[in-house]
Amino acid sequence: MPSVSLTVNGTSHTVEVEGRTLLVELLREKLRLTGTHVGCDTSQCGACVVHVNGESVKSCTILAVQADGGSVTTIEGLAGPDGALHPMQEAFREYHALQCGFCTPGMVMSAIDLVKKHPDGMSEHEIREGLEGNLCRCTGYHNIVRAIAAAQEVMHGRAAALAPAEA
Amino acid sequence: MYDFAYHKPATLAEAVGLLADPEARPISGGQTILPALKHRLDRPAALVDLSGIAELRGIRKDRDRLVIGAMSRHFEIQTSPVVQAAIPALARMAGMLGDTQVRNRGTMGGSLANNDPAADYPAAALGLGATLVTSGGRRIGADDFFQGMFATALEPGELLVSIEFPVPEKAGYAKMRNPASRYVMTGVFVSRGPMGVRVAVNGAGPGVFRQPDMEAALEANWSADAVAAIRQDPDGLNGDIHGSAEYRAHLVTVMAKRAVLDAG
Ligand SMILES: Cc1cc2nc3c(=O)[nH]c(=O)nc-3n(C[C@H](O)[C@H](O)[C@H](O)COP(=O)(O)OP(=O)(O)OC[C@H]3O[C@@H](n4cnc5c(N)ncnc54)[C@H](O)[C@@H]3O)c2cc1C
Ligand code: FES
Ligand code: FES
């Protein structure tokens, strides 16, 4: 069996896998990091999005062996060691950007990559376009878009703290 | 997915050697082959990962040609200043394809080798008169490369190494997306330049094809009005639950007009 060595949320692991083992299977079943969800397993829904070497990927559509030697960040790796939430997580909470929460880990991971890819900031329209690969069956996306718009201000250093959501 | 052996060669020669096994398949970004393997549409004994091969990488301008390595990811093409300067319509196409996560992994070589009738790049390659360079040392013109649904001129085990696009004076692209899958229902790529005037249609037929009537009209008068009255024959086009052949034929004219406007 092939073995893969990778860093997940800052910790290095060497794990035996099959050739066909998906990265999401390695994360959920071998490392018990069950924050990454599988919604469709057909590359459509984005519930499984994680970062590999800093970029968002659908972890159901990459083999574990393809991530060998790489660095993976999952939703569990975002908060600081003191438990302080990442600004994107904080914004999802503040703006009520989730209902059942199933899509949320993938949404947050995608949103962080989107913000990083748009250093000049995104319009509401660009945020909606950027979420093309993430499906949410509950929220209607509206509050997700608001949360990302607020979080990008903090992530780009244009606001010191998250703007509070108005009731 | 059935299990398979996995190889990650460091050189093109090594990859070609591994692919001499008829049961082995190349994998680039995996955004098409992995979903296919999950559906058990194929049962390869081995996957040969092309991502470690330097010869397949890189985007550069070589005199009057834009040369794109087969392993270039959609995101790299979308954001490359070299592509944006030489053929902005191609950079825009890469940015309008799939979603962020697909663009972070999927590659131009994988898309062209796959030749899905609803894929985007085949329209650019045919519509610009690109040359496809292979591991066998062959240089295949786009007119000969695409051979209908999921079929190309590649021999078994032969790899796409790079794609050379003659830099056009003008080029534009417009597509109608399937609202659910977001793949191309019908798209049209137009260009004018060293390869003459070319109009390529994707999504509408079993494979990408050229539209000679529109090419002649644009040759005489490069304007959206010139193609507005030209009707595409629906005979042989795709008809399915998403749209009839007649609907797709109608879209060819609409998309051609928009593509000319996109080209400016
Ligand atoms: C949700 C989703 C949405 C998508 N939307 C679109 C879209 O709107 N438009 C679009 O055009 N595409 C779309 N795609 C497909 C995407 O663009 C793929 O990235 C692309 O079709 C294949 O590239 P790949 O690198 O992932 O290839 P892979 O999946 O790795 O390979 C595809 C095929 O090509 C072969 N192959 C790979 N590289 C080479 C090579 N260098 N030489 C010879 N053979 C090779 C493989 O063996 C395989 O048969 C979408 C995919 C997904 C999952
Ligand atoms: S589980 Fe990966 S995209 Fe849906
Ligand atoms: S909150 Fe339920 S799927 Fe998005």
| Chain A residue closest in CA terms to B27 | A66
Cα of B211 to nearest chain A Cα, Å: 31
Whether residues A73 and A103 fall in one domain? no
The arithmetic mean of pLDDT across residues A102-121, rounded, is: 98
Q: What domain range is A141 assigned to?
A: 87-155
Which tens digits make up the pLDDT trace of B17-31? 999 999 999 999 999
pLDDT at residue A166 greater than cutoff 90 = no
| Chain B residue closest in CA terms to A47 | B101
Q: How many domains does chain A have?
A: 2
Q: Both ends of chain B: CA-CA distance in Å?
A: 47
CATH of the domain at A68: 3.10.20.30
Residue A103 counted as domain residue: yes
Residue A29 counted as domain residue: yes
Residue B205, token pair as written in the block: 């037929």
Residue A82 counted as domain residue: no
What values do phi and psi take at B169, rounded to 5?
Answer: -75, -40
Whether residues A91 and A150 fall in one domain? yes
The pLDDT assigned to B223 comes to 98
Q: Give the Cα separation of B209 and B149 in Å (integer).
A: 11
Cβ–Cβ below 8 Å for B51 and A110 = no
pLDDT at residue B16 greater than cutoff 90 = yes
Cβ–Cβ below 8 Å for A56 and B100 = yes
Domain boundary among A55, A77, A99: A77
| Chain B residue closest in CA terms to A115 | B100
| A57 CA from centroid of ligand 1 (Å) | 14
User: Are the C-beta atoms of residues A165 and A146 closer than 8 Å to each other?
Assistant: yes
Residue B134, token pair as written in the block: 């292979």
Domain boundary among A31, A59, A77: A77
Whether residues A69 and A103 fall in one domain? no
| B87 CA from centroid of ligand 1 (Å) | 21
Residue A131 counted as domain residue: yes
Which tens digits make up the pLDDT trace of B151-191? 999 999 999 999 999 999 999 999 999 988 889 999 999 99
Residue A161 counted as domain residue: no
Find how far residue A132's CA is from the centre of its chain.
Answer: 14
Residue A59 counted as domain residue: yes
Q: Residue B100: which of A42, A66, A114 has the nearest Cβ?
A: A114
pLDDT at residue B55 greater than cutoff 90 = yes
The arithmetic mean of pLDDT across residues B189-205, rounded, is: 97
Give me the percent of chain B exceeding a pLDDT of 70. Answer: 100
Q: Could you tell me if residue B29 is left (phi over 0), alpha (psi between -120 and 50 degrees) or otherwise beta?
A: alpha
What type of residue is B90? L
Among B11, B68, B100, B111, name the best residue to mutate to test ligand 1's pocket (greatest count of ligand atoms within 8 A of Cβ). B111
The pLDDT assigned to A167 comes to 59
B27 CB within 6 A, ligand 1: yes
Whether residues A93 and A141 fall in one domain? yes
User: Are the C-beta atoms of residues B112 and B160 closer than 8 Å to each other?
Assistant: yes
Whether residues A94 and A112 fall in one domain? yes
Whether residues A117 and A135 fall in one domain? yes
Q: Is B62 on the interface with A (CB under 8 A)?
A: no
Q: Give the Cα separation of A162 and A139 in Å (integer).
A: 21
Whether residues A148 and A113 fall in one domain? yes
Whether residues A62 and A96 fall in one domain? no
Residue A160 counted as domain residue: no
Q: Give the Cα separation of B215 and B129 in Å (integer).
A: 13
Which tens digits make up the pLDDT trace of B82-131? 999 999 999 999 999 999 999 999 999 999 999 999 999 999 999 999 99
Residue A28 counted as domain residue: yes
Helix, strand, coil shares of chain A as percentages rounded to 5?
35, 15, 50
| B73 CA from centroid of ligand 1 (Å) | 10
Domain boundary among A54, A77, A100: A77
CATH of the domain at A134: 1.10.150.120
| A138 CA from centroid of ligand 2 (Å) | 17
The arithmetic mean of pLDDT across residues A81-90, rounded, is: 96
The pLDDT assigned to B197 comes to 98
Give me the percent of chain A exceeding a pLDDT of 70. Answer: 99
Domains of chain B by start residue, with CATH = 5-49 (3.30.43.10), 56-166 (3.30.465.10), 170-263 (3.30.390.50)
Closest CA to B192 of B257, B254, B124, B263: B263
Cβ–Cβ below 8 Å for A117 and B100 = yes
Q: Give the Cα separation of A117 and B187 in Å (integer).
A: 27
